[in-house]
Each structure stands twice: as C-alpha cells, then as structure tokens.
Amino acid sequence: MSRGRRKKQEEADDVGMERWLLSYADFITLLMVFFIMMYALSKVDVAKYNAIAQSLSIVLTGSSLPNQEAPGPSLAPGASGQQVPGSLGDTSDLSNQLEEVEKQIRKFISIDITDNSGVAMGQSSTRLADYIDIIEQERGLVISIKNTFLFPSGSDELNPQARVVIEQLGKALVKMPNQIRVEGHTDDLAINTAQFPSNWELSIARAITVLYVLRGDAGIDAKRLSATGYGEYKPLVPNLNAANRSKNRRVDIVILKQKYSDF
C-alpha cells in the first residue's frame, strides 16, 4: 500500500474513533442525568410517604411514628402480630372486638390525607370515605376499597398513598385473632395482556398485592391471611355504565367471624 493510501486510511480511522468517543460520552452523560432524576424523584416520594404515614398513625394510635428515612415497617407498640395484655385480642367476646375495630376504622376513613402541616398532598386532599366503605355482613366485617384509589388501570402496583392506608388499616387489625380474607374484583371489561390474560389473573394479583402489605408492612400473622380473585363475577351492581363499573372494581378486606374462619 502506498504512503498516500496508508495516510488516508489512518485519518479515516481517527475520524471514526472520534465519532465513537463522542457518541459514548453523550450516552454516559444522558445515563448520569437519568439516575440523578430518579434519585431526586425517589426522595420526594419518601417525604410524601412519611408525611402521610404520620397523619394516619396519629388517627389510629394517638401517637406519631418514629422518624424514618425510608418507607417500611414501622409498627405501633404491641402491633408486632402478638396479642398484648389488656388489648382487644384478649377478650373472649369477638363480637365486641369487631365492633370496637369497626369504630376505629370508621374514624380512620373520616379523615382527609394531608401532610403534617395540614397542607393537602397535591392540589386537594384525599377523602378516604370517598374510596372506602365499611359493610357489615353475616360472615364478618368487610372493608371495601375502590380500585381507583388502589391501582392504576390494568396494573397490580399500588399507588403510594394506598399502600400507606392499607398498612395503617392492617395495624388496626393486627391484634385480632380473626382470619382475614383479601378478595379482588374487576368490572366486566375484558383484559388480555401478557401479564393478565383475563380478569381472573388481574383480580387475584391485586388481592395478593394487598395481602403482602398487610403481612409485610402491618405485621399481620401470615397464618391469618388468604387471598382470592373473583374477576368480574361478583359485581356489587350491574355493569351497565361507567359509574357502576367503577363501584365493581374493588378489593375487599374481610374480617371473618369465627364460624366462617375455616378455609
């Protein structure tokens, strides 16, 4: 190869190397910016999570939670899954026990979710009573939570506020001996994705997600918990319009009476 050709080849190689380095540097810069943004967003979510948890804990236990840097289990005294002397778990009258817990939960859902300064999260506060119903049935007490509060559409990943609310509800139930069944429900609109081929899979996945929060975050004994999914086959009202479908999309936390606890 002549000197001229060799020189041109070397110059072409140098240009190609420079272009590759520029592309690589741009990629690394973008990657760094992405991780910085993710870190910043995670810090904001943690602050909101802690603020909501504090306000809800005060309502249920009368005391605030210990300072914490990240979301996770933070149980009130005596709420570790063990019954404590003098607690509701010691009474032999389970009916009175259920009535007392029902009073606590009704008080709990009457509040609006705000931060510690009283400023509502986001543009307006979340009124829990708009999303949670307390229903007395023969089988026990049903805490029915609308999926519009719990999950994004077609997903089994909990909204951050919903996770805190379920955790605090679980802490109100942790000392009781009753079995707890988590039931998932959908409307009649079909779903067909790789993750959820039908409403059966979606409803059971959502029920299990709620169960994991009751177990892992609230500390309820796993032996007391079960989960099931009914898809669209146990609606509260006929699926005639959007409003009715919204009512049927729900997760029910059922505190079973003793005679219904064998499952």
Q: Burial letters for 173-201: b for 16+ Cβ neighbours within 10 Å, e otherwise?
A: bbbbebbbbbbbbbbeeebeeeebeebbb
What torsion do the CA atoms of 13, 18, 24, 25 make, to the nearest 10 degrees?
170
| Confidence at 19, pLDDT banded by 50, 70, 90 | low
Nearest Cα neighbor of 184 from 166, 211, 204 is 204
| DSSP per-residue codes, 9-30 | HHHHHHHHHHHHHHHHHHHHHH
Arithmetic mean of pLDDT, 233-251: 97
Q: Is residue 135 predicted with pLDDT exceeding 80? A: yes
Scan for tokens 């029902």, then name that residue: 102
Q: Is residue 64 predicted with pLDDT exceeding 60? A: no
Q: What percent of the chain has pLDDT over 90?
A: 46
Close Cβ partners of 111 (under 8 Å, ≥ 6 residues apart): 55, 56, 59, 128
* Largest Cα span, the chain: 101
Q: Is residue 59 predicted with pLDDT exceeding 80? A: no
Scan for tokens 């509800």, then name that residue: 169
Please give the residue that has the higher pLDDT: either 232 or 161: 232
- pLDDT per residue as tens digits for the range 76-133: 433 334 433 333 333 356 677 778 888 888 888 887 765 443 333 444 567 889 999 9
Scan for tokens 């190869």, then name that residue: 1
* The predicted structure's pLDDT at residue 218: 95
| Confidence at 241, pLDDT banded by 50, 70, 90 | very high
Q: What is the mean pLDDT of the chain?
A: 76
* The predicted structure's pLDDT at residue 52: 52
- Spatial distance between the Cα atoms of 35 and 29, rounded to a whole number of angstroms: 10
Residue 1: how many CB atoms within 10 A of its CB? Answer: 7
| Confidence at 20, pLDDT banded by 50, 70, 90 | low
* The predicted structure's pLDDT at residue 260: 82
Task: Please tell me the least confidently modeled range out of 105-119, 189-203, 221-235.
Answer: 105-119
| Confidence at 5, pLDDT banded by 50, 70, 90 | low
Arithmetic mean of pLDDT, 17-32: 64
| Confidence at 214, pLDDT banded by 50, 70, 90 | very high
CA 230 and chain centroid, separation = 19
Close Cβ partners of 237 (under 8 Å, ≥ 6 residues apart): 244, 247, 248
pTM over 0.75: no
Return the DSSP state at 152.
-
Ordered domains of the chain (ranges, CATH): 95-260 (3.30.1330.60)
Return the DSSP state at 186.
-
Nearest Cα neighbor of 145 from 133, 161, 163 is 133
